[in-house]
Amino acid sequence: MTVVLLGFGGPDSPQEVRPFLDRVLQGRRIPQERYEEVVRHYEIIGGRSPFNELTQRQAAALQRELHERGIDVPVRVAYRNAAPFIEDVARDLGQSGSKAIGIILTAQQSEVSWDKYFGSIPGATYVPPYFDNPLFVQAHAERVRDALRELDRTSFDGIALIFTAHSIPQAMADRGPYVAQLRRTAELVVQAVGARAFTIAFQSRSGSPAEQWLEPDVRDVLKALPQQGIHDAIVAPIGFLCDHVEVLYDLDVDAAETATDAGIRMARAGALNDHPLFIRMLADYVQQCRA
């Protein structure tokens, strides 16, 4: 039995950024200025993405947790757009005859975040969506409380609590449970931290400007806060499992600059990365799949 974490992948070095983007685009034409803008985003955060490194940390933590439960199985990673590629890992597993448990590294389901991964390893058993799992919710709640302390506040009164996720085309969202699952995650986290209100915003949109994508954009939400008499905000990326370019640039740089310009003190809640509760949740699912 082998456990496989399935994710998007990222470039590990400045030299890998353009080949990585070319794989992501797969021949799709985008304006050259947009391409160069994304390259610049990677340059600003250090010329690489920590996605692969953080996913490896998740895998290592999961393997340790399983070992402590008396389950000694390898935990591998596989990416759509970086090595080790999903198709290569799937071929290795097929040749070895090892059964697999697949864990898709996204909590909410959409055609791009879930469907493109489900079934990518033939014969694997897949962990179900976990957007409302109590351990997942509690892990996010702890990250939000950390952000509250960063603002030197003890209550959410007067603070805008903004949950973010990757924007997708509206037509795609209409065909699936993505938005409903995001809202459910947000509702449960709000209950866990004792807040009274929240906003769901979207970020990192791409594609044709003529196509309708999920809104509001997180930057627009931040800009509007002073008109509501709010000057503190917590931005929590519940649609992302680890700190990568969409978090480190789109939130920590772009959204943070927007907040500063609007006179908003913004604290960004950490992504889950290898949070112990998140890892415990994954281990629970592996145990259930093996039963």
Q: How high is the pLDDT of residue 207? A: 74
For the chain, give the mean pLDDT. Answer: 96
Listed residue (23, 63, 67, 21) closest to 43, CA to CA: 21
Q: How high is the pLDDT of residue 31? A: 86
Across residues 219-228, what is the average pLDDT? Answer: 98
Assess whether pLDDT exceeds 80 at residue 208: no
> CA-to-CA distance for 235 and 257, rounded, in angstroms?
13
* pTM given for the model: 0.96
With a CB cutoff of 8 Å and minimum separation 6, the contacts of 218 are 162, 164, 201, 202, 203, 235, 251, 255
Domain spans of the chain, in order of start: 2-130+274-290, 134-268
Q: How high is the pLDDT of residue 119? A: 94
Q: How high is the pLDDT of residue 27? A: 72
Query: What are the CA-CA distances from residue 125 to residues 8, 171, 222, 282 (Å)?
Result: 19, 29, 41, 14
What is the SS3 string spanning the chain? CEEEEEECCCCCCHHHHHHHHHHHHCCCCCCHHHHHHHHHHHHHCCCCCCHHHHHHHHHHHHHHHHHHCCCCCCEEEEECCCCCEHHHHHHHHHHHCCCEEEEECCCCCCHHHHHCCCCCCCCCEECCCCCCCHHHHHHHHHHHHHHHHHCCCCCCCCEEEEEEEECCEHHHHHCCCHHHHHHHHHHHHHHHHCCCCCEEEEECCCCCCCCCECCCEHHHHHHHHHHHCCCEEEEECCCCCCCCHHHHCHHHHHHHHHHHHCCCEEEECCCCCCCHHHHHHHHHHHHHHHC
Across residues 36-44, what is the average pLDDT? Answer: 96
Q: Which residues pair with 101 in a beta bridge?
A: 3, 125
Q: How high is the pLDDT of residue 24? A: 94
Secondary-structure class of domain 134-268 per CATH: alpha beta
Assess whether pLDDT exceeds 90 at residue 29: no
What pLDDT digit, counting tens, does each position of 122-131 carry?
A: 999 999 999 9
Q: How high is the pLDDT of residue 203? A: 97
The share of the chain scoring above pLDDT 90, in percent, equals: 94
Backbone angles phi, psi at 159, to 5 degrees: -110, 130
What pLDDT digit, counting tens, does each position of 226-283 carry?
A: 999 999 999 999 999 999 999 999 999 999 999 999 999 999 999 999 999 999 999 9
Assess whether pLDDT exceeds 80 at residue 18: yes
Assess whether pLDDT exceeds 80 at residue 215: yes
The CATH code of the domain at 2-130+274-290 is 3.40.50.1400
Across residues 184-213, what is the average pLDDT? Answer: 93
Q: In CATH terms, are 2-130+274-290 and 134-268 the same topology?
A: yes
Residue 153 tokens read as: 């506040």
What pLDDT digit, counting tens, does each position of 44-93 carry?
A: 999 999 999 999 999 999 999 999 999 999 999 999 999 999 999 999 99
Q: What is the CA radius of gyration of the chain?
A: 19
What pLDDT digit, counting tens, does each position of 134-170 carry?
A: 999 999 999 999 999 999 999 999 999 999 999 999 9
Assess whether pLDDT exceeds 80 at residue 114: yes
